[in-house]
Amino acid sequence: MNQDTVLQVRDLATYFELRRGVVKAVDGVSFDLRRGEVLGLVGESGCGKSLTALSIMRLLPKGGARTVRGEVRLGGENILELPASRMRDIRGRRISMILQDPQTSLNPVFTIGEQLREAIFRRAPAKTAEIMKEAVAALRRVEIAAPESRISQYPHQMSGGMKQRVVGAIAMSGEPQVLIADEPTTALDVTIQLQYLKLLKRLQTETGMAILFITHDFGVVARMCDRVAVMYAGRIVECGPVAEVFERPAHPYTRALIASVPKMTGERGRLATIEGQPPSLLDLPPGCRFAPRCNLAEPQCIATYPETADIGPAHTVSCWRSDTR
Protein backbone atom coordinates (compact mmCIF):
# COMPACT_ATOMS: atom_id res chain seq x y z
CA MET A 1 0.00 0.00 0.00
CA ASN A 2 1.34 3.37 -1.03
CA GLN A 3 2.52 5.63 1.82
CA ASP A 4 0.08 8.35 0.83
CA THR A 5 -2.98 6.14 0.49
CA VAL A 6 -5.39 6.76 3.35
CA LEU A 7 -8.30 4.73 2.09
CA GLN A 8 -8.03 1.65 -0.07
CA VAL A 9 -11.16 -0.02 -1.41
CA ARG A 10 -10.81 -3.41 -3.07
CA ASP A 11 -13.49 -5.40 -4.88
CA LEU A 12 -16.26 -3.99 -2.69
CA ALA A 13 -19.65 -5.57 -3.37
CA THR A 14 -22.96 -4.78 -1.68
CA TYR A 15 -26.10 -6.63 -2.66
CA PHE A 16 -29.74 -6.37 -1.75
CA GLU A 17 -31.11 -9.86 -1.26
CA LEU A 18 -34.76 -9.66 -2.19
CA ARG A 19 -37.34 -12.36 -2.72
CA ARG A 20 -37.32 -11.53 -6.43
CA GLY A 21 -33.59 -12.03 -6.65
CA VAL A 22 -30.28 -10.35 -5.84
CA VAL A 23 -29.84 -6.66 -6.69
CA LYS A 24 -26.14 -6.16 -7.34
CA ALA A 25 -26.06 -2.47 -6.47
CA VAL A 26 -22.31 -2.29 -5.87
CA ASP A 27 -20.49 -5.06 -7.68
CA GLY A 28 -16.71 -5.02 -7.37
CA VAL A 29 -15.59 -1.44 -6.78
CA SER A 30 -11.89 -0.71 -6.24
CA PHE A 31 -10.09 2.60 -5.79
CA ASP A 32 -7.44 4.35 -3.70
CA LEU A 33 -7.86 7.68 -1.96
CA ARG A 34 -4.65 9.55 -1.24
CA ARG A 35 -3.88 12.10 1.45
CA GLY A 36 -4.96 15.59 0.50
CA GLU A 37 -6.74 14.66 -2.73
CA VAL A 38 -10.32 15.00 -3.87
CA LEU A 39 -11.60 11.98 -5.75
CA GLY A 40 -14.88 12.48 -7.58
CA LEU A 41 -17.27 9.56 -7.88
CA VAL A 42 -19.75 10.33 -10.67
CA GLY A 43 -22.64 8.48 -12.15
CA GLU A 44 -26.38 8.57 -12.60
CA SER A 45 -28.96 7.59 -10.03
CA GLY A 46 -28.91 3.90 -9.28
CA CYS A 47 -25.29 3.40 -10.35
CA GLY A 48 -24.28 2.58 -6.79
CA LYS A 49 -22.24 5.66 -5.89
CA SER A 50 -24.09 6.47 -2.67
CA LEU A 51 -24.27 2.84 -1.64
CA THR A 52 -20.50 2.60 -2.11
CA ALA A 53 -20.14 5.42 0.42
CA LEU A 54 -22.57 3.84 2.86
CA SER A 55 -20.77 0.50 2.54
CA ILE A 56 -17.48 2.20 3.44
CA MET A 57 -19.12 3.87 6.45
CA ARG A 58 -20.88 0.60 7.30
CA LEU A 59 -24.17 2.48 7.47
CA LEU A 60 -26.17 0.36 5.06
CA PRO A 61 -29.92 0.89 4.94
CA LYS A 62 -32.00 -1.70 6.77
CA GLY A 63 -33.87 -4.11 4.56
CA GLY A 64 -31.53 -6.62 3.03
CA ALA A 65 -28.47 -4.64 1.96
CA ARG A 66 -25.32 -6.59 2.78
CA THR A 67 -21.68 -6.13 1.89
CA VAL A 68 -20.87 -9.56 0.50
CA ARG A 69 -17.19 -9.20 -0.29
CA GLY A 70 -14.29 -6.81 -0.53
CA GLU A 71 -11.95 -4.83 1.68
CA VAL A 72 -11.97 -1.25 2.91
CA ARG A 73 -8.58 -0.42 4.37
CA LEU A 74 -8.31 2.73 6.44
CA GLY A 75 -4.67 3.21 7.41
CA GLY A 76 -3.92 -0.46 6.72
CA GLU A 77 -6.78 -1.88 8.75
CA ASN A 78 -9.77 -3.56 7.09
CA ILE A 79 -12.65 -1.70 8.72
CA LEU A 80 -15.25 -4.09 7.34
CA GLU A 81 -14.01 -6.70 9.84
CA LEU A 82 -14.04 -4.48 12.92
CA PRO A 83 -16.61 -5.03 15.68
CA ALA A 84 -19.46 -2.49 15.67
CA SER A 85 -18.13 -0.71 18.78
CA ARG A 86 -14.72 -0.03 17.18
CA MET A 87 -16.47 1.18 14.03
CA ARG A 88 -18.44 3.71 16.08
CA ASP A 89 -15.15 5.15 17.34
CA ILE A 90 -13.86 5.47 13.80
CA ARG A 91 -16.94 7.17 12.39
CA GLY A 92 -16.81 10.93 12.87
CA ARG A 93 -13.16 10.84 13.88
CA ARG A 94 -11.16 9.09 11.22
CA ILE A 95 -13.83 9.04 8.55
CA SER A 96 -16.81 11.40 8.30
CA MET A 97 -19.68 11.97 5.95
CA ILE A 98 -21.78 14.89 4.68
CA LEU A 99 -25.12 14.07 3.11
CA GLN A 100 -27.10 15.87 0.43
CA ASP A 101 -29.92 17.32 2.46
CA PRO A 102 -28.90 19.45 5.47
CA GLN A 103 -32.55 19.49 6.48
CA THR A 104 -32.49 15.82 7.41
CA SER A 105 -28.89 15.61 8.67
CA LEU A 106 -29.59 17.95 11.58
CA ASN A 107 -31.94 17.17 14.44
CA PRO A 108 -34.73 19.78 14.45
CA VAL A 109 -35.32 19.69 18.21
CA PHE A 110 -31.75 20.42 19.32
CA THR A 111 -29.83 23.66 18.94
CA ILE A 112 -26.82 23.88 16.64
CA GLY A 113 -24.62 24.19 19.73
CA GLU A 114 -25.94 21.02 21.33
CA GLN A 115 -25.39 19.03 18.14
CA LEU A 116 -21.85 20.35 17.73
CA ARG A 117 -21.08 19.76 21.40
CA GLU A 118 -22.09 16.13 21.12
CA ALA A 119 -19.65 15.62 18.25
CA ILE A 120 -16.82 17.43 20.02
CA PHE A 121 -17.45 15.67 23.34
CA ARG A 122 -17.28 12.27 21.68
CA ARG A 123 -13.82 13.08 20.38
CA ALA A 124 -12.41 14.68 23.53
CA PRO A 125 -14.52 14.80 26.69
CA ALA A 126 -13.97 18.12 28.46
CA LYS A 127 -15.80 20.70 30.55
CA THR A 128 -18.88 22.30 29.00
CA ALA A 129 -17.34 25.76 28.86
CA GLU A 130 -14.34 24.53 26.93
CA ILE A 131 -16.47 22.53 24.54
CA MET A 132 -18.64 25.59 23.92
CA LYS A 133 -15.54 27.56 23.06
CA GLU A 134 -14.50 24.84 20.65
CA ALA A 135 -17.97 24.75 19.11
CA VAL A 136 -17.83 28.49 18.44
CA ALA A 137 -14.41 28.05 16.87
CA ALA A 138 -15.74 25.21 14.70
CA LEU A 139 -18.56 27.44 13.42
CA ARG A 140 -16.09 30.22 12.72
CA ARG A 141 -13.95 27.82 10.70
CA VAL A 142 -16.87 27.17 8.37
CA GLU A 143 -17.34 30.94 7.99
CA ILE A 144 -20.59 31.37 9.89
CA ALA A 145 -21.02 35.00 10.85
CA ALA A 146 -21.66 35.78 14.54
CA PRO A 147 -21.15 32.19 15.73
CA GLU A 148 -21.75 33.12 19.40
CA SER A 149 -25.39 33.90 18.72
CA ARG A 150 -25.89 31.22 16.07
CA ILE A 151 -24.91 28.49 18.49
CA SER A 152 -28.16 28.75 20.46
CA GLN A 153 -30.34 28.69 17.35
CA TYR A 154 -32.32 25.78 15.96
CA PRO A 155 -31.83 24.42 12.42
CA HIS A 156 -35.10 25.95 11.14
CA GLN A 157 -33.75 29.42 11.89
CA MET A 158 -30.99 29.00 9.35
CA SER A 159 -30.86 28.96 5.56
CA GLY A 160 -29.98 25.83 3.60
CA GLY A 161 -26.44 26.98 2.88
CA MET A 162 -25.82 27.79 6.52
CA LYS A 163 -27.21 24.46 7.68
CA GLN A 164 -24.91 22.64 5.31
CA ARG A 165 -21.99 24.59 6.82
CA VAL A 166 -23.05 23.42 10.27
CA VAL A 167 -23.17 19.83 8.98
CA GLY A 168 -19.67 20.39 7.63
CA ALA A 169 -18.50 21.74 11.00
CA ILE A 170 -19.88 18.66 12.76
CA ALA A 171 -18.35 16.28 10.23
CA MET A 172 -14.96 17.94 10.51
CA SER A 173 -14.97 18.43 14.29
CA GLY A 174 -13.26 15.08 14.73
CA GLU A 175 -10.46 16.08 12.33
CA PRO A 176 -11.05 13.06 10.08
CA GLN A 177 -8.49 11.80 7.58
CA VAL A 178 -11.25 10.97 5.12
CA LEU A 179 -14.40 12.95 4.38
CA ILE A 180 -17.11 11.46 2.21
CA ALA A 181 -19.30 14.18 0.72
CA ASP A 182 -22.43 12.76 -0.93
CA GLU A 183 -23.86 15.44 -3.24
CA PRO A 184 -23.38 18.12 -0.55
CA THR A 185 -24.34 21.04 -2.79
CA THR A 186 -27.17 19.55 -4.87
CA ALA A 187 -29.84 21.15 -2.66
CA LEU A 188 -28.14 24.58 -2.70
CA ASP A 189 -28.48 27.54 -5.06
CA VAL A 190 -25.66 28.09 -7.52
CA THR A 191 -24.07 31.11 -5.85
CA ILE A 192 -24.28 29.36 -2.46
CA GLN A 193 -22.88 26.18 -4.03
CA LEU A 194 -19.80 28.07 -5.17
CA GLN A 195 -19.30 29.50 -1.66
CA TYR A 196 -19.59 26.03 -0.15
CA LEU A 197 -17.21 24.37 -2.60
CA LYS A 198 -14.59 27.06 -2.01
CA LEU A 199 -14.95 26.60 1.74
CA LEU A 200 -14.57 22.84 1.46
CA LYS A 201 -11.49 23.23 -0.71
CA ARG A 202 -9.90 25.69 1.73
CA LEU A 203 -10.54 23.44 4.75
CA GLN A 204 -9.13 20.52 2.84
CA THR A 205 -5.92 22.39 2.01
CA GLU A 206 -5.56 23.41 5.65
CA THR A 207 -6.13 19.97 7.15
CA GLY A 208 -4.83 17.72 4.40
CA MET A 209 -7.83 15.43 4.63
CA ALA A 210 -8.83 13.33 1.66
CA ILE A 211 -12.31 13.82 0.19
CA LEU A 212 -14.41 11.30 -1.68
CA PHE A 213 -16.79 13.62 -3.52
CA ILE A 214 -19.95 11.97 -4.84
CA THR A 215 -21.83 13.92 -7.48
CA HIS A 216 -23.70 13.65 -10.77
CA ASP A 217 -22.56 17.09 -11.91
CA PHE A 218 -19.53 17.26 -14.19
CA GLY A 219 -19.21 20.99 -13.48
CA VAL A 220 -18.64 20.24 -9.81
CA VAL A 221 -16.09 17.57 -10.73
CA ALA A 222 -14.17 19.99 -12.93
CA ARG A 223 -14.12 22.59 -10.15
CA MET A 224 -13.40 20.37 -7.13
CA CYS A 225 -11.69 17.13 -7.97
CA ASP A 226 -8.14 15.99 -8.70
CA ARG A 227 -9.19 12.61 -9.98
CA VAL A 228 -12.52 11.21 -11.09
CA ALA A 229 -14.05 7.73 -11.16
CA VAL A 230 -17.10 7.15 -13.36
CA MET A 231 -19.57 4.51 -12.20
CA TYR A 232 -22.11 2.62 -14.28
CA ALA A 233 -24.45 -0.12 -13.05
CA GLY A 234 -22.45 -0.95 -9.91
CA ARG A 235 -18.91 -0.75 -11.30
CA ILE A 236 -16.27 1.87 -11.96
CA VAL A 237 -15.83 1.98 -15.73
CA GLU A 238 -13.17 4.68 -15.94
CA CYS A 239 -10.85 6.42 -13.49
CA GLY A 240 -8.19 9.05 -14.04
CA PRO A 241 -6.94 12.60 -13.46
CA VAL A 242 -9.75 15.11 -14.10
CA ALA A 243 -8.06 17.01 -16.95
CA GLU A 244 -7.15 13.75 -18.70
CA VAL A 245 -10.64 12.25 -18.39
CA PHE A 246 -12.30 15.44 -19.66
CA GLU A 247 -9.93 15.85 -22.59
CA ARG A 248 -9.53 12.20 -23.53
CA PRO A 249 -12.46 10.25 -22.11
CA ALA A 250 -11.75 6.61 -22.92
CA HIS A 251 -15.03 4.91 -22.07
CA PRO A 252 -17.93 5.47 -24.49
CA TYR A 253 -20.21 6.07 -21.49
CA THR A 254 -17.98 8.82 -20.08
CA ARG A 255 -17.74 10.35 -23.54
CA ALA A 256 -21.51 10.30 -24.07
CA LEU A 257 -22.20 11.66 -20.61
CA ILE A 258 -19.86 14.62 -21.07
CA ALA A 259 -21.29 15.32 -24.53
CA SER A 260 -24.88 15.35 -23.27
CA VAL A 261 -24.31 18.22 -20.82
CA PRO A 262 -25.45 21.59 -22.24
CA LYS A 263 -22.57 24.05 -22.48
CA MET A 264 -22.27 27.76 -21.78
CA THR A 265 -20.31 28.41 -24.97
CA GLY A 266 -20.32 27.16 -28.54
CA GLU A 267 -23.17 25.63 -30.54
CA ARG A 268 -26.73 25.80 -29.25
CA GLY A 269 -27.94 22.99 -31.50
CA ARG A 270 -29.15 19.52 -30.66
CA LEU A 271 -27.60 17.76 -27.69
CA ALA A 272 -26.02 14.36 -27.94
CA THR A 273 -28.09 11.77 -26.10
CA ILE A 274 -27.61 8.28 -24.73
CA GLU A 275 -30.53 6.19 -25.90
CA GLY A 276 -32.09 3.52 -23.75
CA GLN A 277 -31.94 2.87 -20.02
CA PRO A 278 -29.34 1.41 -17.65
CA PRO A 279 -29.74 -2.37 -17.21
CA SER A 280 -31.78 -3.84 -14.39
CA LEU A 281 -29.49 -4.61 -11.45
CA LEU A 282 -31.53 -7.77 -10.88
CA ASP A 283 -30.58 -9.18 -14.23
CA LEU A 284 -27.19 -7.90 -15.35
CA PRO A 285 -25.77 -8.88 -18.72
CA PRO A 286 -22.63 -11.07 -18.57
CA GLY A 287 -20.58 -8.68 -20.70
CA CYS A 288 -20.03 -4.95 -20.53
CA ARG A 289 -23.01 -3.40 -18.79
CA PHE A 290 -23.07 -0.44 -21.14
CA ALA A 291 -22.92 -2.58 -24.30
CA PRO A 292 -26.72 -2.53 -24.96
CA ARG A 293 -26.59 1.29 -25.22
CA CYS A 294 -23.15 1.58 -26.81
CA ASN A 295 -22.78 2.31 -30.51
CA LEU A 296 -19.30 0.75 -30.58
CA ALA A 297 -20.43 -2.57 -29.12
CA GLU A 298 -19.14 -5.78 -30.73
CA PRO A 299 -19.97 -9.44 -29.98
CA GLN A 300 -17.05 -9.57 -27.54
CA CYS A 301 -18.53 -6.68 -25.49
CA ILE A 302 -21.78 -8.56 -25.04
CA ALA A 303 -20.09 -11.86 -24.17
CA THR A 304 -17.48 -10.96 -21.54
CA TYR A 305 -16.85 -8.12 -19.09
CA PRO A 306 -13.72 -6.16 -20.08
CA GLU A 307 -10.72 -6.22 -17.74
CA THR A 308 -9.59 -2.93 -16.28
CA ALA A 309 -6.65 -1.70 -18.36
CA ASP A 310 -4.10 1.08 -17.93
CA ILE A 311 -4.23 3.50 -20.81
CA GLY A 312 -2.15 6.38 -19.49
CA PRO A 313 -0.59 7.75 -16.33
CA ALA A 314 -3.05 6.76 -13.55
CA HIS A 315 -5.81 6.46 -16.15
CA THR A 316 -7.70 3.17 -16.21
CA VAL A 317 -10.69 2.01 -18.22
CA SER A 318 -12.86 -1.08 -18.54
CA CYS A 319 -13.73 -1.24 -22.20
CA TRP A 320 -12.87 -3.56 -25.08
CA ARG A 321 -13.08 -0.72 -27.57
CA SER A 322 -11.14 1.98 -25.73
CA ASP A 323 -8.59 2.06 -28.56
CA THR A 324 -11.25 3.47 -30.89
CA ARG A 325 -11.69 7.01 -29.69
The site for another protein (CB under 8 A) is made up of: 44-45, 159, 161-162, 189-195, 197-198, 216-223, 242-243, 246, 256-258, 260-264, 268, 270-275, 277
Q: Which is nearer to another protein, 123 or 216 (CB)?
A: 216
Q: Which is nearer to another protein, 181 or 220 (CB)?
A: 220
Q: For the sheet with 315-317, list strands across it.
A: 95-98, 178-182, 210-215, 38-42, 227-232, 235-241, 315-317, 309-312
Least distance to another protein from the beta carbon of 290, Å?
A: 11
Q: Which is nearer to another protein, 191 or 295 (CB)?
A: 191
Least distance to another protein from the beta carbon of 180, Å?
A: 20
Least distance to another protein from the beta carbon of 105, Å?
A: 19
Phi and psi at residue 142, to the nearest 5°? -95, 20
Q: Which is nearer to another protein, 137 or 243 (CB)?
A: 243
Least distance to another protein from the beta carbon of 129, Å?
A: 31
Contact between 178 and 33 under an 8 Å Cβ cutoff? The reply is yes
Query: Under 8 Å CB-to-CB from 95, ≥6 apart: which residues?
Result: 7, 56, 57, 74, 79, 176, 177, 178, 179, 180
Q: Which is nearer to another protein, 201 or 325 (CB)?
A: 201
Per DSSP, the three-state class of 147 is helix
Q: At what angle do helices 112-123 and 128-141 cross, to 10 degrees?
A: 110
Least distance to another protein from the beta carbon of 143, Å?
A: 10
Residue spans of alpha helices (H) in 248-317: 252-259, 299-303
